[in-house]
Structure 1
Amino acid sequence: MSAPLLVVGDALLDCDLEGEVARLAPDAPVPVVHGAHRRTRPGGAALAALLVARSGHPVTFVTALGEDPASAELRRLLDGEMDLVPLPLRGTLARKTRVRGGGQSLLRLDEGEGRAAGPSRAAREAVARATTILVSDYGRGTADALRAPLTEAARRGLLVWDPHPRGEAPVPGVRLVTPSFAEAASYAAREAGAGDALAVAARAARSLVREWEAAAVCVTLGARGALLSHGEAPLFVPTPFTAVGDPCGAGDRFAAAAATLLAEGALTEEAVVGAVDAAARYVAEGGATAVRGHASGRRQEAGHGPDPVPGPEADAPSGFGASPPEEALPRDTYGDPYEVVARVRARGGRVVATGGCFDLLHAGHVALLEAARAAGDCLVVCLNSDDSVRRGKGPGRPLVPARDRARLLTALGCVDAVLVFDEETPERVLRALRPDVWAKGADYTRDGLPEADLVEGWGGQVVLVPYLAGHSTTALAHRAAARSLP
């Protein structure tokens, strides 16, 4: 069995009053909820710890709990799920209650302002032993009480930090910080500026990598996915599908999945891709409403058990599956790149371009193009001409002529137009298009893109998108040739 993942953070007790709405009150224009029943579940850092446990990874959870009824109920809900290391709580445990009617949240009541009263020897020892730690900081003192041992842990191990506006900044040396879009824009307001969410997130993340001395910052973008920055060209990871459902708790699911994958040896980029997928599936499978209530023994992961129990939002909405920071515009179906760009810009849309040979179109190409299209409102592919490919790849290439390559690309639903260029680099056509985003596969770096300075010169943005390893035109051609031999 793998070593337990340590979750450190502020637990909440989340409650739902769920009923039906059929009329408005006669004395005020407010809905009347009738037939309401109450259900509870772990919230805040407790939800993150529970989701790690339900993924099959052993968990130790350090949090502040008292002797109040809310603390007692949370202890009952967590019993048998994980090893609990309590800190003393000053005051009563925070309780968040949503009043819901017809599946919609109508009102939220917040009670209890309890805070961690200080560290404990057992908690310090748990931090000192841990090899992987997820800090889920909801601003109620748990992370702050253990700041010194967490700082030391970041120097020797793997630390993921899920922040909250009410909490303190992450300790230096964190492997990955996972703020939401609103949180990142708030933390780095001066540097983030205004504009498209992707551009704002990229500027904020780059600034926060430096300010927090973090190895990486990943900004979650709701239904659009997430953007990972190490301080240079960011990696944009779109959601694999549109998830419709209650998004509360999806940010906790994202952080829990990322920490678990990192604990299992994944690279940061791999962990973010997996966490985006996990958060989208969490929303699609019911989100908090699929987190089952207390039962003896280990519980099943959300979405895989009977009798789903809904649960309310944590302190701040995570956004996965909710409306994105701005609505995506309808796709154009025109093949003329300049007409496509003009129409999208007339609606205030965001133009994305990418480039390459795309010789023998394969799954890796399609994955790149789909991810690039998700970064904006249209996608123009800058395609190397036959002569350009020949100069770069050798006399045996291209295997497919430019006219056929362009036809295949425009047949894809994610490609709006194709523009063929004859030079070694696409700088001339980029000057003509002036895209808002220039997207390339994550096998590139910004230094390996000579056109990056050009794009950034007019305020454009360079982003990397996930690269589907194990797919290449050269390997595909070699396999085809080998199979054709007698």
Structure 2
Amino acid sequence: MIPEIDSLKIETPILVLGDLMLDEYHYGDVERVSPEAPVPVVNSSQHERRVGGAGSVVANLSALGVPTRVFGMTGADESGDYIRNALSQLGADVSDVIISNDRPTSCKTRILAGVQHAGRGQQQILRLDREESHPLSQDELADCRKALAGILEEPISIILVSDYEKGLLGQEIMEDLLQRAREKGIPVLVDPGRSGDWERYRGATLICPNRYEASTASGLDVGEEASDHARVGEVLVEKLQLDHCILTLDRDGITRISKGGGLRRHPTKVQAVTDVAGAGDMVLSLLGLALASGWSIDEACQLANLGAGLEIRKVGVQPVERWELSAERDALCGLPIDIDHSTEEMVQIMNQYRSAGQTVVFTNGCFDLLHSGHLQLLEAARAYGDVLIVGLNSDESVSRLKGPERPILPASERARLLGALSSVDHVVIFDEDTPESLIGDLLPDVLVKGADYAIEEVVGREAVEAAGGRVETVTLKPGFSTTGLIEQIRSGARSCPKPSEG
């Protein structure tokens, strides 16, 4: 069983080394084909910039509250300034990032688009790379060696190497790193480059190649059987003098092969893949954090499997939050899933849905003693989009609105009942009498209420419409209310036919 996510705690920073890049994303819709060439015309509606490469590992760890130091290189340009500032804002120590005059910052621009009227999610249709990949100059090498020596004189819990083979992590730097790390007893985990030329990783604690990379480096096919994995892993462990080789095998999960012949497969459940970008960075991040927190190598592999499964559901490279890992871990262990989130957590979740091009629907209520009228509202609301968020009045709020004898059920139980419905994706409990503030924070695409409200009376309408959303009302079947249900129970009246005699 995977340990509780709360046990992922360290105080000494993790050192992240590797190639820093700037990832740019342009989102839009395709409405026509260009008259100039047979290519789609994308009407760009949103532009985002994120730190990529080794910076993704830093972002992953920062999202989990982990202290980090960064060793990398950027160009003396605006993109490099953005990367250093962004990492610093995440809380990372960027004082050892080298600024080079001999190369520009690596930039990758991705165009994602969908067909608006089809209501489908967006997909990547083009990637444009701007970079120079070549070995370090003598000045760059001298600066890197000096910085690395200084870093390793200070406390470091574990070292994560993210090698995109842009020239930073050549033989000289890796030899220096591995020798100094061995002397100080610091584990070194490597996410290797695609070339398969891995002699520079000799003596690392572990490497975590994917299927293609492992096949290229070993010269062997990586099949689906454990015997195939063992053969490839043993070759790499012996050749590179590793403690472990962690094979990341997409649909086949993760297989650990260790020095001395140890092997264990960690299968993964089938996922709907949105975007595979960032899965390798997530595996490296979680392996490192788990091992630095004192977890066993197999517990670390199970966590990495879990995190990679979450990452491939996201559009682009996005960190996974602790609550997501906790929910996925609890589901895997068969524990009740807590779908109730704070407003802050829900805002982060909303941003992820928006990045995926999904339509988010919001409705609200007390939902005290769930009945078929509630079900009708929730099912109708869910049909307006891809995700339904329910705002739920707290116990204090219900008492103010309905009287001191209400609610019948506490908010925790009402949230659990709502969460058990297939139409409900998330629940947010609010303390105010109305959800106006919550709606203003979330700004859903669609706001739904019962048709007993005029649209002009719907709380939150102005904020939603100002943000480009809309309000929908649902005509509900009359005769269903919690108040009426309570009165029936107290009077002993029946609302269903009496059973026939005989």
- The bucket for the TM-score relative to the shorter chain is 0.5 to 0.7
Q: Paired residue for 1:188?
A: 218
2:214/2:222 contact within 8 Å kept = no
- Which one scores higher on RCO, CA 8 angstroms, separation ≥ 6? 1
Distance 1:208 1:301 in 2: 42
Distance 1:29 1:160 in 2: 45
Q: Give the letter aligned to residue 105 of structure 2.
A: L
Change (3 A) 1:164 1:74: same
Q: Give the letter aligned to residue 83 of structure 1.
A: D
Distance 1:19 1:43 in 2: 21
Q: How does 1:322-337 map to 2 (within 5 A)?
A: none
2:26/2:44 contact within 8 Å kept = no
Q: Paired residue for 1:121?
A: 146
Root-mean-square deviation (CA, aligned residues, Å) is 2.8
SS in 2 for 1:284: coil
Q: Paired residue for 2:281?
A: 252
Distance 1:128 1:107 in 2: 44
User: Residue 278 in 1 paired to residue 303 in 2?
Assistant: no
Q: Paired residue for 2:190?
A: 161
Q: Give the letter aligned to residue 151 of structure 1.
A: L
Q: Paired residue for 1:214?
A: 242
Give 5+ residue unaligned stretches, structure 1.
Answer: 293-299, 312-486
Q: Paired residue for 2:173?
A: 146
SS in 2 for 1:79: helix
Distance 1:42 1:79 in 2: 11
Q: Give the letter aligned to residue 86 of structure 1.
A: V
1:62 to 54, 67, 71: 71
Distance 1:74 1:240 in 2: 35
1:53/1:59 contact within 8 Å kept = yes
1:239/1:276 contact within 8 Å kept = yes
SS in 2 for 1:140: coil
Q: Paired residue for 1:462?
A: none
User: Residue 98 in 1 paired to residue 123 in 2?
Assistant: no
Q: Give the letter aligned to residue 86 of structure 2.
A: L
Distance 2:346 2:13 in 1: 20
User: Residue 87 in 1 paired to residue 98 in 2?
Assistant: yes
Q: Paired residue for 1:28?
A: 37
Q: Paired residue for 1:239?
A: 268
Distance 2:285 2:46 in 1: 29
SS in 1 for 2:98: strand
1:92/1:112 contact within 8 Å kept = yes
% of aligned pairs identical? 27
Q: How does 1:84-483 map to 2 (within 5 A)?
A: 84=94, 85-89=96-100, 90-102=102-114, 103-113=122-132, 116=136, 117-118=140-141, 119-129=144-154, 130-144=156-170, 146-155=173-182, 156-166=185-195, 168-189=198-219, 192-193=220-221, 195-196=223-224, 199-231=227-259, 232=261, 234-240=263-269, 242-284=271-313, 286=315, 288=317, 304-308=348-352
Aligned-residue offset at 1:36? 4.3
Distance 2:52 2:316 in 1: 12
Aligned-residue offset at 1:175? 1.8
Query: Could you report, residue by residue, the CA deviation over 1:427-474 in whole angstroms, capped at 9, with x for unpaired residues?
Result: xxxxxxxxxxxxxxxxxxxxxxxxxxxxxxxxxxxxxxxxxxxxxxxx
Aligned-residue offset at 1:301? 9.8
SS in 1 for 2:152: helix
Aligned-residue offset at 1:22? 2.4
Structure (1 or 2) with the larger CA radius of gyration: 2
SS in 2 for 1:71: helix
Change (3 A) 1:201 1:23: farther
My pick for the range that moved more, 4-13 or 201-210, is 201-210
Aligned-residue offset at 1:99? 1.6
Distance 1:283 1:55 in 2: 18
Query: Could you report, residue by residue, the CA deviation over 1:353-394 in whole angstroms, capped at 9, with x for unpaired residues?
Result: xxxxxxxxxxxxxxxxxxxxxxxxxxxxxxxxxxxxxxxxxx
2:178/2:188 contact within 8 Å kept = no
Q: Paired residue for 1:76?
A: 85
Change (3 A) 1:291 1:67: farther
Aligned-residue offset at 1:91? 0.8
Q: What is the aligned length?
A: 302
Q: TM-score, normalised by structure 2?
A: 0.55
